Amino acid sequence: MKEAIEKLQQAVNESSYIVFFGGAGVSTESGIPDFRSQDGLYSQKYKYPPETIVSHSFFMRRTEEFYEFYKDKMLFTEAKPNAAHLKLAELEKAGKLKAVITQNIDGLHQAAGSKEVLELHGSTLRNYCMSCGKKYDGIQFIMDSPGVPKCDCGGVIRPDVVLYEEGLDNSVIRRAVDHIARADLLIIGGTSLVVYPAAGFIDYFHGKHLCVINMSETSRDSMADILIQGKIGEVLSQITV
């Protein structure tokens, strides 16, 4: 692993357009479980798999059950950015990293100071009324609402996250793909790369170095010239800017 981290350091040193593409594994070191690790949400016992519960049809049909799961397992009021979020923000500040493209919905990249964050799946920190469109920022309001959060107008409030069966925002896709196509170093980390269309965007990368940092194998490991199997916070904290 030491040798691979040295290779990553060298690639960081010689790159001027670094892009990071990540997923739930980036936030596990902040105490937020992912979906597919051994202690992720898939291995916990629920009546339905998480993908079913956080789907559009489930939300519409069983809004109360959706919110039970969502408040219990997907909102983390105490979570703080970890070493991975902080290093990526530092790389951006130094002008090396141009964008963080994330499948996460926890807002921790922005909390760490990252500016160009493309949230492919939206954010739990933004909510809106499905009837009148009124916006409700933050997660405390949702946590404090008993059952289904309701707007002043009586409408149901929903999180501004992309549920399964829903489409991604086209302008976010365009910006993400544009960054990936320009990157000289693409770092992929903390993602199982099984959620589409998000995982397909990395096909637009034609730069010099592809680095994959993940605890378990991914479908892109064979394409990476720098492959690091380990915890992303521990790995990135060893990189100097």
Residues catalogued as catalytic: 121
Q: Cα(238)–Cα(141) distance, rounded to whole angstroms?
A: 38
How is residue 191 written in tokens?
């993602």
Any contact of residue 36 with ligand NAD (CB under 6 A)?
A: yes
Any contact of residue 106 with ligand NAD (CB under 6 A)?
A: yes
Q: Which of 89, 105, 183, 239 binds ligand NAD (CB under 6 A)?
A: 105
Residue 205 CB, shortest distance to ligand NAD, in Å, is 17
By CB neighbour count within 10 A (0-12 exposed, 13-18 middle, 19+ buried), where does 66 fall? buried
How is residue 72 written in tokens?
């219990």
Stretch that binds ligand NAD, among 35-43, 64-72, 133-141, 200-208 (CB under 6 A): 35-43
What sign for the dihedral angle of Cα 36, 57, 46, 143?
A: positive
Q: By C-beta, is 114 or 192 nearer to ligand NAD?
A: 192
Residue 95 CB, shortest distance to ligand NAD, in Å, is 26
Any contact of residue 37 with ligand NAD (CB under 6 A)?
A: yes
Note the Cα 28 to chain centre separation in Å.
11
Q: Cα(221)–Cα(188) distance, rounded to whole angstroms?
A: 10
* Pairing of β 18-22 and β 185-189: parallel
Q: Which of 215, 224, 227, 239 binds ligand NAD (CB under 6 A)?
A: 215
In 3D, which of 134, 137, 140 has the Cα closest to residue 154? 134
Site string for ligand NAD, 6-25 (x = CB under 6 A): -----------------xxx
Give rounded-to-5 percent helix, strand, coil for the chain. 40, 20, 40
Stretch that binds ligand NAD, among 91-99, 148-156, 185-193, 200-208 (CB under 6 A): 185-193
In 3D, which of 110, 98, 103, 122 has the Cα closest to residue 184? 98
Q: Which of 27, 55, 110, 127 binds ligand NAD (CB under 6 A)?
A: 27
86 forms bridges with which residues in the sheet?
Answer: none
Q: Which of 98, 109, 220, 231 binds ligand NAD (CB under 6 A)?
A: 231
> What b/e readout covers 155-166, taking b as 16+ CB neighbours within 10 angstroms?
eebbbbbbbbee
Site string for ligand NAD, 116-135 (x = CB under 6 A): -----x--------------
Any contact of residue 34 with ligand NAD (CB under 6 A)?
A: yes
Any contact of residue 81 with ligand NAD (CB under 6 A)?
A: no
**Which residues here bind ligand NAD, judged by CB under 6 A?**
23-25, 27-29, 32, 34-37, 40, 103-106, 121, 190-192, 194-195, 213-216, 231-232
